[in-house]
């Protein structure tokens, strides 16, 4: 078993994920794993980084596949015995011009972006070593007041999502309720946004808060999870529209991944791309994106 610190970035063969891997290869004291659903694309990315003189490792990982998650967990556990950094970057987003029914978009987005992230966390969290750092990619579209305005249903949703008593099970129920209303056409009346991607990122942001409360009670010392808005980054997912490069988008997640031991803040926070901690429930936001 190798005696080294380990960092893992999901969905990292391109875009912000690849930029995070590149940055961690330079700044993290340990081995860095680039992971991807497609082994061929993942290995191409690894080879390109190696040509830059960076040391990086690859393992296939699809957060939408239970067997893939289990195989990856076994590999990390058997090879290293533990994990020090996890960056939850893998996600999907439908384009604005997508023709798939909204119910289908909701089902796939929530299944992968929320439940896939949750499944990976449930699998890997037992491997986290003391002082481990978890970073989940959120978005400016996940800011809680953007959950459908001032309608009573939206207000109730915001209260539930921001509750300090919210459980993982209750959050899962809320995400499933969104999918159900998206399928029957009542999502707006229920208080949700008309963007499946936005709701999925609201979900993982709320999940971050729930997970940090669990970490606070964990016997392992100094476990921290934060989520971050990387800003409007020019990537394939954004149809190459945005204000920031992938390198700029990677700055905040790298910062959060490398928080020093015994950090008091940020912890369980919604962090802006410029590293400011934002009140997810009330704001204000430092910038539009």
pLDDT given for residue 152 in this prediction:
83
Report, as an integer, the average pLDDT of 145-166: 90
The CA distance from 221 to 130, in Å, is 5
* Averaged pLDDT score across all residues of the chain: 95
Q: What percent of the chain has pLDDT over 70?
A: 98
Of the listed ranges 51-55, 137-141, 259-263, 285-289, the one predicted with least confidence = 285-289
pLDDT given for residue 154 in this prediction:
84
pLDDT given for residue 237 in this prediction:
65
Question: 0.75 cut: is pTM over it?
Answer: yes
In sign, the C-alpha dihedral spanning 106, 109, 110, 112 is positive
CA dihedral (282, 237, 186, 168) in degrees, to 10, reads: -60
Quick: pLDDT tens for 10-31. 999 999 999 999 999 999 999 9
Q: Are 24 and 34 in contact (CB under 8 A)?
A: no
Strand partners, 57: 33
pLDDT band at 1 (very low <50, low <70, confident <90, very high): confident
pLDDT given for residue 137 in this prediction:
98
Using only the alpha carbons of the chain, give its radius of gyration.
18
Report, as an integer, the average pLDDT of 203-216: 98
pLDDT band at 239 (very low <50, low <70, confident <90, very high): low
pLDDT given for residue 240 in this prediction:
64
Report, as an integer, the average pLDDT of 257-276: 97
Fold of the 6-95+116-142+204-278 domain: Rossmann fold (3.40.50)
Give the H or E element holding residue 69: helix 66-80
The CA distance from 169 to 158, in Å, is 17
Report, as an integer, the average pLDDT of 94-107: 95
Which residues have a catalytic role annotated? Answer: 197
Domain extent listing, the chain: 6-95+116-142+204-278
pLDDT band at 141 (very low <50, low <70, confident <90, very high): very high
pLDDT given for residue 267 in this prediction:
98
pLDDT given for residue 2 in this prediction:
84
Quick: pLDDT tens for 33-65. 999 999 999 999 999 999 999 999 999 999 999
Q: Are 112 and 63 in contact (CB under 8 A)?
A: yes
């Amino acid at each position: 078993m190798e005696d080294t610190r380990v960092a893992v970035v999901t969905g990292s063969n391109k875009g912000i994920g690849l930029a995070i891997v590149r940055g961690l290869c330079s700044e993290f004291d340990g081995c860095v794993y680039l992971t991807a659903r497609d082994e061929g694309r993942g290995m191409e990315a690894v080879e390109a980084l190696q040509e830059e003189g960076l040391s990086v490792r690859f393992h296939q990982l699809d957060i939408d596949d239970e067997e893939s998650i289990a195989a990856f967990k076994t590999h990390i556990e058997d090879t290293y015995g533990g994990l020090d950094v996890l960056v939850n970057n893998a996600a999907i987003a439908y384009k604005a011009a997508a023709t798939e029914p909204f119910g289908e978009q909701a089902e796939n987005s929530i299944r992968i972006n929320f439940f896939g992230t949750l499944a990976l966390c449930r699998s890997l969290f037992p491997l986290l070593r003391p002082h481990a750092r978890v970073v989940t990619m959120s978005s400016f579209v996940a800011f809680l007041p953007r959950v459908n305005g001032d309608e009573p249903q939206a207000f109730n949703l915001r209260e539930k999502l921001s509750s300090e008593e919210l459980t993982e099970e209750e959050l899962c129920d809320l995400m499933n309720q969104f999918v159900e209303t998206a399928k029957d056409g009542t999502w707006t009346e229920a208080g949700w946004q008309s963007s499946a991607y936005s709701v999925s990122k609201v979900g993982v942001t709320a999940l971050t808060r729930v997970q940090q409360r669990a970490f606070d009670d964990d016997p392992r010392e100094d476990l921290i999870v934060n989520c971050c808005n990387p800003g409007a980054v020019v990537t394939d997912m954004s149809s190459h529209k945005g204000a920031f490069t992938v390198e700029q988008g990677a700055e905040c997640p790298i910062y959060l991944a490398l928080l020093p031991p015994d950090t008091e803040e940020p912890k369980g926070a919604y962090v802006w791309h410029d590293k400011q901690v934002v009140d997810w429930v009330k704001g204000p936001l430092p910038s539009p994106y």
